[in-house]
Amino acid sequence: MHGMVLHRPDPELASPLHREDLPLPAPAPGEILLKVTRCGVCHTDLHIVGGELPVHKTPLVPGHQVVGLVAEVGPGVRRFARGDRAGVAWLYDACGRCDACLQGRENLCAEARFTGYDVDGGYAQFMVAKADYAYRIPGRFSDTDAAPLLCAGVIGYRALRLSGIEPGQRLGLFGFGASAHLVIQVARHWGCEVYVFTRSESHRAHARELGAAWAGGGDDRPPARPHAAVVFAPAGAVVIQALGQLERGGTVVVNAIHLDRIPEFDYALLYGERVLRSVSNVTRQDAEEFLDLASAIPVETTATVYPLAEANAALAALRTSAVSGAAVLDVERI
């Protein structure tokens, strides 16, 4: 099979991935072999190929927003059959024994493994996945539309819930890319008034098209203070901007696996019982809930599609915020 492979993470490399011929993997007990059709390109992929996250495996096939068809099932698999459509997300598996797992918080498992980071992911024609950690894709979504739902959508949904936002309240979104353009649709479905803070005028226009009541820069003042906010930009300075905009008693959720640093800030920004918290991965329940909700709304994905061999170009476009919505690799186009 063909795949795009990372050998050495380096932020200076313009083309960190190399197209290579790889052996076809075989599913072990409890696993499925997925013939990949689409794979979303995520900011986490940027942090992995750029070395901003610790190296867990090289050589590595990145990609953790994977949609495809089950080509083969390993012994003991009952959840899927050959020919089924399935999706794979960031959480590859967890131990199932620790306190976090037993409490349904498998996203906090210290032994959790992650797709496209600890194991090879979806930037290839085939990949193996744990059947119990794969998802059925609602029929209303094409493969292209479904791929970003599996990380950008699910992690955004978890961040939204952790923010404590209530229907009808005001929500601030800081940054407007793959995750935020899906989150705003859920928030609008809940009747929230959404304010979007982003430097990009094209992203502001996209936000308004999706129902934002206001869109401006991080230091601009919206009509009223948000009751809750989600920060999507991996920049600590934006976290401080969000705190500065927030209503008393509100929560800022940082939806990023990597943050450059949070600068020193005045305690007055946090005072007034404001809360600052991170979101860490997702659970299987998060994914199941979000896929059902996204189908019911229905959420519409905006995607820019690249052939598999142009994965480096997709990453470069994502790094420079040149993508409106989500970037998706068409793995069927080599």
Distance of alpha carbon 210 from alpha carbon 325, whole angstroms: 11
pLDDT by 10s per residue, the chain, length 334: 999 999 999 888 889 999 999 999 999 999 999 999 999 999 999 999 999 999 999 999 999 999 999 999 999 999 999 999 999 999 999 999 999 999 999 999 999 999 999 999 999 999 999 999 999 999 999 999 999 999 999 999 999 999 999 999 999 999 999 999 999 999 999 999 999 999 999 999 999 999 999 999 989 999 999 999 999 999 999 999 999 999 999 999 999 899 888 999 999 999 999 999 999 999 999 999 999 999 999 999 999 999 999 999 999 999 998 998 999 999 999 8
Report the CATH fold assignment for 153-278.
Rossmann fold (3.40.50)
Long-range pairs of 310-317 with CB within 8 A, sequence gap ≥ 24: 311/4, 311/17, 311/41, 311/123, 312/4, 312/14, 312/15, 312/16, 312/17, 314/41, 315/16, 315/17, 315/41, 315/45, 315/46, 315/49, 316/14
Measured distance CA(281)–CA(291) in Å, rounded: 16
Through-space distance between the first and last CA atoms of the chain, rounded to whole angstroms: 11
CA distances for 111 relative to 61, 98, 99, 105, 131, angstroms: 20, 9, 12, 12, 18
Which residue ranges make up each domain of the chain?
2-148+300-330, 153-278
pLDDT recorded at residue 13: 85
Cβ atoms 330, 308 nearer than 8 A: yes
* Residue from 276, 289, 212 nearest 249 by CA: 276
- CATH of segment(s) 2-148+300-330: 3.90.180.10
Residue 12 has what pLDDT?
Answer: 83
3-state secondary structure of 62: coil
